[in-house]
Structure 1
Amino acid sequence: MELQVNGHASYCYTGGKPFDPAKPTVVFIHGVLNDHSVWILQSRYFAHHGWNVLAVDLPGHCRSAGEPPRSVEEAARFIVALLDAAGVPRAALVGHSFGSLIALEVAGSAPERVSQLVMVGTAFPMKVSPALLDASLNQPMKAIDMVNTFSHSMLAPPPSSLGPGTWLLGGSRALMKRVLASNPRHNVFHLGFKACDDYQGGEVQAARSQCAILFIAGRNDQMTPPRAMQALAAKARHGRIVTLEAGHALMTEAPDAVLFALKDFLQP
């Protein structure tokens, strides 16, 4: 599904179902160097169980046109504009990593637009090491290898979201290279990491949000360790934490567990 947002075509995967304004809507927001496909299991489930699904490619990523967001706040304004373009007054937001900060910023800055919020693999502050930040700019292929090493706690869990025995590290590496190559004009890798590193509004927006918030953490996450979300969770009015046996790539390492946590939390 394509929507015109801020004058540009924006792609949203709908889980194979047509968009129905009468249904509740859940928006899935990916992280740095990812796209809508990281939510394949979760988005298809909700699309076939009474929800509209908008699993978005952020601007300047893969099938979405426009300038890639240079800050969490800019990306959050895009999500609000996306809801406007879809004619959705209020939606549940599910974000992973960078996407979790975007979803949180929407929930704090436009609380009337967010019914429920899920933050997967999150942290605040979400600081990026200087070495990794520099590599994402000057040696992106090296940085992709670094990120994948830190993001995965297993190589081929049976089953994974891509099928039993899939080489998850290799699949994630291929996805990141494809997303990076999708925008030769802008280094979306570095821009995304810098946006995470620069973001300062997390605790303020968690306190401003009015909705229930679910935090999904990977017990073996080296990118956003579970302890790094504690202060943020303490600021949430209605916060709940679920910890899964996974690294940072939760949707591929623990796809069913992530789905069950979402299913238990999200209510139409």
Structure 2
Amino acid sequence: MKLNVQGRPAYAYTGGKRFDAALPVVVFIHGALHDHSVWTLLARYFAHHGRGVLAVDLPGHGRSEGPALGDVETLGDWINALLDAAGVTGDGAVALVGHSMGSLIALEAAARRPARVARLAMVGTAWPMKVSDALLSTSRERPRAAMAMVNAFSHATTAGKPSYPGPGAWLHGGNLALMERMQDGYNERGNLFEHDFLVCDRYQGAPDAAAKLAAAGVRAELILGAKDAMTPPKAAKPLAEWLGARVQTLPAGHSLMTEAPEGMLNALKAALG
């Protein structure tokens, strides 16, 4: 589904069904150097079970025109502008689901329009989401080497069971190929990998955003990987406390959607009600 958001073309995958803004809406927001495809099977499930689904490509990623936006706050505004462009109106109409960088964007988008949000699910999250100086430097100077490092850190298993998206899928190879495609597609504008890392690293607004959502009574859920080396579960404790969130922990690393697809689906079904 193509939309005009803040004057530029934007894309959202609708799960194989025509988007209907009159249904309860779920927005899926990807992380660094990813696009909507990380949500494909989850998006299809909810689209075929009574939800209007928007699995977005953030600006500069996938099919959404750049430039990439420079901070979580601006990206939160973009998510709300996308919902406006899709015709989503009314209070309590939206659930926001974000992974890693996308979890911070979901948090900020919800805090900026809390009346419209019914549920928030933060997947593979942490705050602060700091990136080490060494990894930031490598992402700037040798992005291919940094991608290989992050890909290794993001997986705790050789192959998820059942394999995502089907038997025989190569999780490590598929994720690395997606990261390389996002990076190559942005080369004329700059280094998307370093850009996305800086978006995570510089975000300071989580305490205020969480306080706004807690005061508004927005129900929040954290879905974490027990073996996550990128955003360890202990690093999400402040968010859980501020939001009054329920925490679900799955036997996976940072790439929960591919390493634990059934567990992830069940966790989201519980989180979204």
**TM interval, short-chain normalised:** over 0.9
Instruction: Report if aligned partners of 2:229, 2:254 keep a CA contact under 8 Å in 1.
Output: yes
SS in 1 for 2:249: strand
Show the counterpart of 2:212. 208
**Residue 29 in structure 1 maps to residue 38 in structure 2:** no
Show the counterpart of 1:91. 94
Show the counterpart of 2:143. 140
SS in 1 for 2:46: helix
Q: Map of 1:22-171 to 2, 5 A cutoff? A: 22-89=22-89, 90-171=93-174
Shift of 1:87: 1.1
Show the counterpart of 1:240. 246
What CA RMSD, in Å, does the superposition of the two structures yield over aligned residues?
A: 1.0
Write the distance in 2 (CA, Å) between the matches of 1:244 and 1:94: 16
**Residue 183 in structure 1 maps to residue 198 in structure 2:** no
**Structure 2 unaligned spans of 5+:** none
TM-score (norm 2): 0.95
1:117-138 deviation per Cα after TM superposition (whole angstroms, max 9, x unaligned)? 0000000000001111111111
Q: Which amino acid aligns with 1:9?
A: P
Shift of 1:53: 0.5
Instruction: Report if aligned partners of 2:125, 2:231 keep a CA contact under 8 Å in 1.
Output: yes
Show the counterpart of 1:231. 238
Shift of 1:55: 0.2
Write the distance in 2 (CA, Å) between the matches of 1:176 and 1:212: 32
Shift of 1:165: 3.5
Shift of 1:92: 0.6
Show the counterpart of 1:9. 9
Show the counterpart of 2:258. 252
SS in 1 for 2:153: helix
Instruction: Report if aligned partners of 2:161, 2:260 keep a CA contact under 8 Å in 1.
Output: no
Write the distance in 2 (CA, Å) between the matches of 1:203 and 1:251: 26
SS in 2 for 1:23: coil
Runs of 4+ in 1 over 6 A off after TM superposition: none
Write the distance in 1 (CA, Å) between the matches of 2:21 and 2:64: 22
> Which stretch shows the higher mean deviation, 83-92 or 7-16?
83-92
Query: What number of residue pairs does the alignment pair up?
Result: 266
Instruction: Report if aligned partners of 2:27, 2:97 keep a CA contact under 8 Å in 1.
Output: yes
Shift of 1:69: 1.3
SS in 2 for 1:160: coil
Q: Which amino acid aligns with 2:109?
A: V
TM-score (norm 1): 0.97
Write the distance in 2 (CA, Å) between the matches of 1:231 and 1:22: 35
Shift of 1:166: 2.1
Percent identity over the alignment?
56
Instruction: Report if aligned partners of 2:70, 2:195 keep a CA contact under 8 Å in 1.
Output: yes
Shift of 1:113: 2.3
Write the distance in 2 (CA, Å) between the matches of 1:214 and 1:250: 15
Write the distance in 2 (CA, Å) between the matches of 1:198 and 1:4: 28
Q: Which amino acid aligns with 1:70?
A: G
Write the distance in 2 (CA, Å) between the matches of 1:56 and 1:188: 17
Instruction: Report if aligned partners of 2:36, 2:62 keep a CA contact under 8 Å in 1.
Output: no
Write the distance in 1 (CA, Å) between the matches of 2:272 and 2:197: 29
**Structure 1 unaligned spans of 5+:** none
> Which stretch shows the higher mean deviation, 119-128 or 258-267?
258-267
Write the distance in 1 (CA, Å) between the matches of 2:271 and 2:127: 22
